[in-house]
């Protein structure tokens, strides 16, 4: 009986893992449909942003499944979901990332501070410049709790459950109205996922 249960459990785990890999593969294929558009928009600008980073951010934001693929409406208009054109969304997202990267260069902070600032806003770059010049999870969490959340009404540090492979080891929560302090790490993880899956797709073209 025990052996049968163990086999059922192993089979269930294998099916779950297989399903997750399939979903990741489908999401990567969707995001890669924007590669040409991203490349064209990047060529229009003098920017330190690169194609792989932008695609990883699209993967992180929407998996390429919404009109505002880079969730850039708020940086353009001050309100969410006001952009519903994929090219406009990517163009605005790249502009915001470009501005962050140049500001990060001027302040002497790392690239991932600029990426985290895509979620928090550019003032985060100044915060990191005054606190060691390198983005860390503890500093991002502090900024979320002490700056972002209170500015949007959460003055008590109220949190909510947030389940993600990265968050599980760090409390699995975020501050209400506090943005996503895991954002830059999620982009890093998704950059790795994109690169790895694209290599697999090149080796096995029919995938």
Give domain status of residue 160, yes or no: no
Least confident of 1-10, 73-82, 145-154: 1-10
Predicted structure pTM score: 0.90
d(CA 95, CA 79): 17
Give domain status of residue 50, yes or no: yes
Residue at token pair 């951010």: 57
Alpha-helical (H) ranges within the chain are: 2-32, 35-43, 51-61, 73-77, 86-107, 111-120, 123-129, 137-143, 149-151, 183-203
CATH label of the domain that carries residue 23: 1.10.530.10
- Assess contact for 104 and 110: CB atoms under 8 A: yes
Distances from the Cα of 149 to the Cα of 15, 186, 200, 204, angstroms: 39, 20, 41, 46
d(CA 65, CA 143): 30
What share of the chain in percent tops pLDDT 90? 76
What does DSSP assign to residue 169?
G
Instruction: List, for residues 41-52, the tens digit of each pLDDT value.
Output: 999 988 999 999
Q: Total structural domains in the chain?
A: 1
Domain interval for residue 110: 2-135+183-203
CA atoms within 13 A on the CB side of 62: 19
Give domain status of residue 27, yes or no: yes
d(CA 97, CA 99): 5
Give domain status of residue 163, yes or no: no
> Does 111 have pLDDT greater than 80?
yes
């Amino acid at each position: 009986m025990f052996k049968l249960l163990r086999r059922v459990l192993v089979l269930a785990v294998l099916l779950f893992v297989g399903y997750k890999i399939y979903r990741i593969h489908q999401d990567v294929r969707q995001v890669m449909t924007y590669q040409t558009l991203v490349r064209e928009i990047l060529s229009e600008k003098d920017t330190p942003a690169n194609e792989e980073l932008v695609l990883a951010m699209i993967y992180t934001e929407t998996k390429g499944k919404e009109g505002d693929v880079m969730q850039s409406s708020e940086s353009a208009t001050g309100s969410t979901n006001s952009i519903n054109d994929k090219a406009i969304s990517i163009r605005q997202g790249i502009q915001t990332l470009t501005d962050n990267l140049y500001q990060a260069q001027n302040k002497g902070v790392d690239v991932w501070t600029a990426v985290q600032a895509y979620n928090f806003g550019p003032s985060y770059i100044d915060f990191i410049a005054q606190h060691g010049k390198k983005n860390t999870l503890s500093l991002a969490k502090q900024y979320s709790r002490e700056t972002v959340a209170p500015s949007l009404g959460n003055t008590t540090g109220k949190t909510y459950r947030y389940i993600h492979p990265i968050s599980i080891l760090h409390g699995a929560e975020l501050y209400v109205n506090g943005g996503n302090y895991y954002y830059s790490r999620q982009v890093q993880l998704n950059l790795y996922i994109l690169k790895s899956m694209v290599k697999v797709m090149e080796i096995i073209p029919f995938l």
